[in-house]
Amino acid sequence: MKRVPTVMSNYQEEVTTEAVGCGRNCLGKCCLQVSNLPLYTFSSDQNSPKSESFLSELLLAQWEERMRQGFFRYDVTACETKVIPGPQGFITQLNEGRHLKKRPTEFLVDQVLQPFDPAKFNFTKVGQEEVLFQFQNGGTINKSYFLETAGVNPAIAPNIVAINVSPIEYGHVLLIPRVLDCVPQQIDQYGILLALHMAAEASNPYFRLGYNSLGAFATINHLHFQAYYLNIQLPVEKAQIEMITLQRLRRESEKGVKVARLMNYPVRGLVFSEGNTVGDLADVVSKACICLQQNNIPFNVLISDRGRQIYLFPQCYAEKQALGEVSQELLDTQVNPAVWEISGHIVLKRRKDYEEASEASAWRLLAEVSLSEERFEEVKEYIFAAIGVVESKFVVNNEEKEKAEEEAMLDGNMFEPVASHFQEGCLVVE
């Protein structure tokens, strides 16, 4: 099997082919209910043995077979890539023309929550030849297993792993939870838990999953995560973090999840880790994401360290674009900073930008993504209220603690949704 390249590529969320409807063996209900697809079944028991090679070798072997068959729009392994000198070690890739090969998409950038639109491109229109396998929970089975062919249960919407035909890295795939349920691009507990299980099954520190909300450079309004292998530590994974001491406000908040803040990094963010169970970690992170969605705050998520560490980045770059607050110099690069860019893996479209890339230029781009310190602190409080905690420094006596508990019990959130600063009806056209 081909070795994972040491360093390589990036951009975000282009997907699969131009397959439409059931004109060809697609993922729609009409086709899936009579189809057989490979099936990977994993154990939900976090103490079950994990093989570092089983899922990885299977996924990469099938991904390479699709490359051999010519399903990708270009050879991502031929793209020039380098690590920029400097303490952060930002990674840049030159991928000239990639943005010209993308399917034109447009959506409202001022709404994180938007209804699923079956008339627009979605993953039920993907050809089955782009599917690597179903990814299903086998409960507490002793160990994971793989079947080369298995029927699709029409009563259960399958989770699908498919190639990204415009990859930004070796092994770039899409995880599509409950594909037939046509869930719009919004986080729920099921989706986060499934992504954590996939990270655990891969059991490889160089395999990460990412998520982009609408308004944070998701390009398809159909629930999905991205994942790929990059055999180098991402800059955000090397960044210093500062643990936050939290006071639990509700008994059900006792899930053992630790929360930290990124330090000395251009994008402000929170880091979630540990948890009594993987379900507890998924529950806390999904509540944090749901809070951002309900408050119309775009965000990106990076799942790292075999699913043990999750980075959450509220962001505002698209909002600044819509308001004309991004410099022309940055706009000319045509970089849309989504989860991989924010994590320090940046795809550039012009050779000039690639050759002149420096730590200062990368930092300048990512700093535009970040919320201001004041706004970040405000958003952080929304998140903490949603997960039933408060920073210990804010609870100075029993009277204040009781008041905070009472407020937190009101629908689990003590804050009103925040009005968007976008101009109404703003569109992003990619």
- The set of catalytic residues is 224
For residues 9 and 93, is the Cβ–Cβ distance under 8 A?
yes
Angstrom distance (rounded) from CA 95 to CA 168: 9
Angstrom distance (rounded) from CA 169 to CA 148: 25
| Measured distance between the N- and C-terminal CA atoms of the chain, rounded to whole angstroms | 35
Type of residue numbered 161: V
For residues 58 and 144, is the Cβ–Cβ distance under 8 A?
no
Helix (H) or strand (E) holding 36: strand 36-42
Q: Which residue has the tokens 């008041």?
A: 403
Which tokens in the block code for residue 31?
């086709």
Other CB atoms within a 10 A radius of the CB of residue 421 amount to 12
Angstrom distance (rounded) from CA 196 to CA 247: 26
For residues 343 and 211, is the Cβ–Cβ distance under 8 A?
no
Q: Which residues contact 244 (CB under 8 A, 6 or more apart)?
A: 259, 260, 261, 391
Angstrom distance (rounded) from CA 298 to CA 80: 31
Type of residue numbered 377: E
What's the helix, strand, coil split of the chain in %, to 5? 30, 20, 45
Type of residue numbered 316: C
For residues 355 and 93, is the Cβ–Cβ distance under 8 A?
no
- What is the SS3 assignment for 175? strand
